Structure 1
Amino acid sequence: MAVLTPQRSAPGSGAPQRESRRLGFSQRLGRWDVKLSPYLYISPFFILFAVTGLFPLAYTAFVSVHEWSLLGGQGEFVGLQNFADVLAHPTFWKSLGNTLSIFVFSSVPQVIMAITIAALLDQNLRSATFWRMGVLIPYVVAPVAVSIIFGRLFADQYGLINSLLNTIGLDSIAWHGDRIASHIAIASMVNYRWMGYNALIFLAAMQAVPRELYEAAVIDGAGRVRQFFSITVPQIRATIIFVVITSTIGGLQIFDEVRLFDPIGLGGPDRNWMTTVVFLYDTAWGNQHSLGRASAVAWLLFLLIVLIGLANFLITRRISSAGPTKKSKRKSTTTTTTSRGDA
């Protein structure tokens, strides 16, 4: 008597398809929810970034290759002529030099002082919350108020800085006449506004460093300075890179402090402190009224920021790297090989 056995469906048959057809609507919806919900949660950021970031960038590139006036609107397609006109303009190169000079005077001291203040605030201070909130006050002050205050400090004739210099027997400095002096004055405004903000970012990173590392360093006899350079700096390497890159982007896009340092002119009579963004403003809404050339300036500045940002990223990553050097790696490899041979 033959025994009937249930036949199994061969692989590749339509059994999985029939099984998926049997799934209800709610089950299929649940599967799609598991697959799509993570992307839906992060989609608002990318949508907002596409609207406020990518679209203006692409539209600026479109405007930069057209003859586009402020009053007449879109004109003829000119290709790279706007870029050639901007690169041939001597004021553009002077503004670029001013931008780099102010960037160096502001970003480098700003990062050094911010990390120093953060290291001091990371100690066991009395009223630590008061001091930590105090360093953030300059950041919340309006740029206009900061510019008015520092404009009085760095006034050529009746400024407080020149009065102090005259008191100790030194000559007054032409803050609005000398090129380097004006850069130092503007950089001091930038440092005043952003130093406390970056200090709190560094402080948050220092608070996340395990305290066991410092305890072990104290047992080994390491002082505060050695602990800072051997433990703190390597542990907050990612934060240092972040602050350097953001300071680079902000320093190359400086506008408020420069524009308000002398509200009457655009960088002084000789354009001694006109930055690239101020030159862009003058090209679009000043005497030229050319949005095409202004868009070309914006794209050139964008490319410059990308290049300097990448250079800062590579340099900062190498300087703040906590990894051992090649020599130390070779020594450790030799030691390990010797110990194995002795064993």
Structure 2
Amino acid sequence: MVTSTTPKLDHRPSRSDDRQPRRVGLSQRLGRWDVKISPYLYISPFFILFAIVGLFPLGYTAFVSMHKWHLIGGQGEFVGLENFTYVLQQPNFWKGLRNTFSIFLLSSVPQVFIAIVIAAVLDANLRAKTFWRMGVLLPFIVAPVAVSLIFGKLFASDSGMINSILGSVGIDAIRWHADVLASHVAIASMVNFRWIGYNTLIFLAAMQAVPRDLYEAAILDGANRLRQFFSVTVPMLRPTIIFVVVTSTIGGLQIFDEPRLFDQAGQGGADRQWMTVTMYLYEVGWGAQKSFGRAAAVAWILFLIIIVLALINFSLTRRIASDGAPKTGKKKKR
């Protein structure tokens, strides 16, 4: 008798089905969190410090500018944009704005050109390079008070050394403390004296980063030193020049020490001929008015002006960078 046997199917779950889902241990979770969170923790001190010393004062100044806030009486009633309207209607504010831009242009523009030239000289093969490079930075170390006192005596209208030199060559004495343009030139000379050396070292560091192969190729092509400077050095310094221009713009619009100490009164001249915006801010907040609300409004107006100029610099930076970048075009497929 023949019997047929059919294989029985085993419906038992396999070993893989018997395994339970593996639980992630606490140490592994901590390791994953460490990878994800640690980079943010490392950079958090900068943002925390920036929020404390940067964003909070900025926001608090905006809050103060919306109130009648007296130096002695403290916070008053909410006035909205009344402080801004008052400031924009004052002639001294517009004088300060004019003087600020005038001194800024007379100092920052020559400052960049002179710093590049001095950096090119220091980049050459000179004896005692370290001595000359340290000597260029010495004016930056001198306190602004000392610089202002020295230059105030040099540019004195009656007994100043500058007028004595001009008189020896037959030029009439210049009223450095009375004429608007003359006072701006004198203050700009103080700013240039302090900051040219600082910017020179920045340009010198950028020049030393330029590949020497470019200069060797220019020499083989027959370019002299002047041609190398304009064809190799200046184009390679384009990002550094933009950086120096931006920082000089921000610092030039906030100038305070040099014009404040140009004379003994510290009021910006009898007719406010060299009073800057920051000096007007100080006068409104700590002068006769003692109005912190109006002073905060001046600070915010100056901040908005700096933002506008920063955006203009940013757009010019992108345009200059796009013009200097090599243009590559894709060929159309036939």
- Cα offset, 1:33, TM superposition: 1.4
Distance 2:252 2:101 in 1: 8
**Residue 179 (structure 2) aligns with:** 178
- Cα offset, 1:319, TM superposition: 5.1
Paired residue secondary structure (1:68): strand
**Residue 241 (structure 1) aligns with:** 242
Match for 2:39: what amino acid? Answer: P
**Residue 153 (structure 1) aligns with:** 154
- Pick from 5, 14, 24 the counterpart of residue 6 of structure 1: 14
Question: Where do 1:214-293 residues align within 5 Å?
Answer: 214-293=215-294
Contact 1:152–1:159 (CA under 8 A) maintained in structure 2: yes
- Pick from 305, 322, 325 the counterpart of residue 324 of structure 2: 322
**Residue 118 (structure 1) aligns with:** 119
- Cα offset, 1:122, TM superposition: 1.2
Paired residue secondary structure (1:261): coil
Structure 2 unaligned runs (5+)? 1-7
Encode CA deviations 1:173-209: one digit per residue, 9 max, x unaligned. Answer: 1000111000000000000001100110111111111
Paired residue secondary structure (1:165): helix
Contact 2:100–2:253 (CA under 8 A) maintained in structure 1: yes
Paired residue secondary structure (2:76): strand
- Cα offset, 1:72, TM superposition: 0.7
When normalised by structure 1's length, the TM-score is 0.88
Structure 1 unaligned runs (5+)? none
- Cα offset, 1:230, TM superposition: 2.5
**Same amino acid, percent of matched pairs:** 66
**Residue 193 (structure 1) aligns with:** 194
Encode CA deviations 1:125-146: one digit per residue, 9 max, x unaligned. Answer: 1111111111100011000110
Paired residue secondary structure (1:251): helix
**Residue 79 (structure 2) aligns with:** 78
Matched, 1:311 2:312: yes
Paired residue secondary structure (2:216): helix
Match for 1:144: what amino acid? Answer: V
Distance 2:75 2:293 in 1: 9
Match for 1:223: what amino acid? Answer: N
Q: Which moved more, 1:24-33 or 1:164-173?
A: 24-33
Paired residue secondary structure (1:136): helix
Please tell me the root mean square deviation across aligned C-alpha atoms, in Å: 2.3
- Cα offset, 1:8, TM superposition: 5.9
Distance 1:333 1:294 in 2: 54
Distance 1:102 1:25, change over 3 A: same
Encode CA deviations 1:203-248: one digit per residue, 9 max, x unaligned. Answer: 1111111111111121122222332232222222221111101000
Paired residue secondary structure (2:41): helix
Distance 1:318 1:187 in 2: 29
Paired residue secondary structure (2:324): coil
Query: How many residues of Structure 1 are paired with residues of Structure 2 in the alignment?
Result: 324
- Cα offset, 1:316, TM superposition: 5.2
**Residue 40 (structure 2) aligns with:** 39
Contact 1:241–1:317 (CA under 8 A) maintained in structure 2: no
Distance 1:165 1:319 in 2: 42
Contact 1:241–1:313 (CA under 8 A) maintained in structure 2: no
Match for 2:312: what amino acid? Answer: A
Paired residue secondary structure (2:273): coil
Encode CA deviations 1:106-165: one digit per residue, 9 max, x unaligned. Answer: 110111111111111111111111111111000110001101110111011111100000
Paired residue secondary structure (1:228): helix
Contact 2:259–2:266 (CA under 8 A) maintained in structure 1: no
Paired residue secondary structure (1:75): strand
Distance 1:144 1:97 in 2: 24
